Amino acid sequence: MASSGADRTAARLAAVPGIRRAPTSRLEQFMLPRFLDAETCAALIDLIDSDARPSTIADANGDAAFRTSSTCDLDHRLPIVIAVNNKLHDLTGIPLAYGEPLQGQRYDIGEEFKAHTDYFDPHGADWDTYCAVPGQRSWTLMIYLNQPAAGGATRFLATGKMHQPEVGKLLAWNNVRPDGTINPDTLHHGMKVRKGRKYIITKWFRERPWPWAAGELE
Ligand SMILES: O=C(O)CCC(=O)C(=O)O
Ligand SMILES: [Fe+2]
Q: What is the CATH number of the domain that holds 159?
A: 2.60.120.620
Q: Which atom of ligand 1 is nearest to the CA of 163?
A: 3
Residues 6 or more apart whose CB falls under 8 angstroms from that of 5 comprise 93, 94, 95
Residue 171 lies in a domain: yes
Using CB atoms within 10 Å of the CB of residue 158, give its burial: 0 to 12 exposed, 13 to 18 middle, 19+ buried.
Answer: middle
Residue 215 in domain: no
Could you tell me if the CB of 70 is within 6 A of ligand 1? no
Domain assignment present for residue 156? The answer is yes
Whether residue 71 lies inside any domain: the answer is: yes
Please report whether residue 218 resides in a domain: no
Query: 67 CB under 6 A from ligand 1?
Result: no
To test the pocket of ligand 1, the residue of 170, 201, 202 to mutate (highest count of ligand atoms within 8 Å of its CB) is: 202
Mutate which of 142, 157, 189, 193 to test ligand 1's pocket (most atoms within 8 Å of Cβ)?
142
Residue nearest to atom 6 of ligand 1 (CA): 190
In a domain, 82, yes or no: yes
Query: Among 58-72, 141-155, 195-209, which is the least confidently predicted range?
Result: 58-72
pLDDT of residue 213: 81
The pLDDT of residue 1 is: 45
pLDDT of residue 104: 96
For residue 88, the enclosing domain spans: 6-57+65-204
pLDDT at position 2 = 56
Domain-located, residue 146: yes
> Does position 70 have pLDDT exceeding 50, yes or no?
yes
Mapping DSSP onto H, E and C, the string for 182-207 reads ECHHHCEEECCEEECCEEEEEEEEEC
Count the domains in the chain: 1
